[in-house]
């Protein structure tokens, strides 16, 4: 069962880094660049509901930060659950 927890932990961490990479590349790459489009397809389905609830403030979009915090909270809760179970 510990293997399942490690797999979930790894997937969540990789996804968190994908969000970070998307934010960084959004400053340098065109929205139509293939890498950026691929990252958008991976990340935007989770960012769009957050953006509907937390609109950008001026030029700043805080939805990636909120998503990273949510991923960390979910990761922590899952790890605590597995620790309690075993």
Q: What residues in the chain have per-residue pLDDT under 70?
A: none
pLDDT of the residue at 33: 95
pLDDT of the residue at 73: 97
Q: Specify the DSSP element, H or E, that contains 24.
A: helix 2-25
pLDDT of the residue at 51: 94
Instruction: Enumerate residues 6+ apart whose C-beta is below 8 A from 42.
Output: 15, 18, 22
**CB of 18 within 8 A of CB of 67?**
no
pTM of the model: 0.90
11 to each of 14, 17, 81, how far by Cα in Å? 5, 10, 17
pLDDT of the residue at 76: 95
Task: Classify residue 19 by burial, with Cβ atoms within 10 Å: 0-12, 13-18, 19+.
Answer: buried
């Amino acid at each position: 069962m510990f293997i399942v927890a490690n797999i979930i932990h790894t997937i969540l961490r990789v996804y968190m880094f994908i969000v970070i990479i998307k934010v960084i590349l959004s400053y340098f790459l065109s929205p139509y660049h293939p890498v950026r489009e691929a990252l958008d397809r991976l990340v935007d389905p989770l960012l769009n509901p957050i953006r509907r609830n937390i609109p950008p403030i001026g030029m700043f979009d805080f939805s990636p930060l909120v998503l990273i915090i949510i991923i960390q909270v979910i990761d922590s809760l899952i790890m605590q659950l597995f620790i309690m179970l075993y």
